[in-house]
Amino acid sequence: MNLVAEFDTELLATSQAVVAKRYAQGTWSEQPDRIAEEVPLALIYNGIAHAVMLGTPADLEDFALGFSLTEGLISHAKDLHDVEVVVSELGLELHLEIASAAFHGFKASRRQMAGRTGCGLCGQETLQQAIRPVSKVGHTLQLQPHALERALNQLPDWQSLHQTTGGVHAAAWADLEGHLQLLREDVGRHNALDKLLGALFKAKVDTRHGFLLLTSRASHELVYKAAFAGIELIAAVSAPTSLALRHAEEAGLTLVGWVRKGGFSVYSGQKRVG
């Protein structure tokens, strides 16, 4: 039985208390711990189920908006009229009410996908659908190296759930001086970015005046979503993938990896840094 959603989503637990059996220095002991919650999140558009993601039950409106925009399900933030969260025994349902014009495009996409399910990944057209063209970004950003180091140094103080559990990713937005402005966390790196982008879209932040900092590797989906939002620089604490680099070069985006104390590596768009 579903519990309909007149409740504060901030009350949803993002971590769970457990007791681990700890082995250290030749002995066993019981150690209280907290682990991150991971729940199914079903996205339902105007009554039609679209996808189920696994994620952290926090900042769900930001997630709904960021996912809907970056996946091309709506064209503008104003197309998302309402988000209702319904709790079930199996997870959470996000019921999204979108504009009728956007819904027509959504239904056409659903029909197109349904016509292809029998053959699976069966040819060039399907591969083109999986690897979508990346948006071009502007060339207005100029960043000094110290901004990346400052943002990295501030990161731990903003990662409250990671400090508790040690098991979630973060996507953060920093200004040109490297001061963090927004951060979202999730067990999934894509979800964390969708949540952050949703918050940026909702606040109407000008993405020409800052950069993205990720606690994960830089994969092609993250580059795609960042370019969609007009972000000119991605900084990741780990490495990029080859497809991420290819997409960054196609978008004209600066891709920075291995952001650590003392240095970083620029893989594309070096002119924006220094």
Active site residues: 119
Phi and psi at 151, nearest 5°, equal: -60, -45
- Identify the three-state secondary structure at position 87: strand
Per-residue buried b or exposed e for 53-84, using 16+ beta carbons within 10 Å of the residue's own CB: bebbbbbbbbbbbbbbbbbebbeeeebbeebe
- How far apart, in Å, are the Cα atoms of 178 and each of 37, 114, 172, 262? 30, 45, 11, 15
Using an 8 Å Cβ cutoff, are 269 and 257 in contact? Answer: no
* Cα gap 66→102, rounded to integer Å: 15
Structure tokens at 26: 């030749």
**C-beta atoms surrounding 87 within 10 Å:** 17
Closest by CA to 211, choosing from 195, 198, 200, is 200
Tell me, what amino acid is at 112? Q
Pairing of strands 180-186, 210-214: unpaired
CA 30 remoteness from chain centre: 35
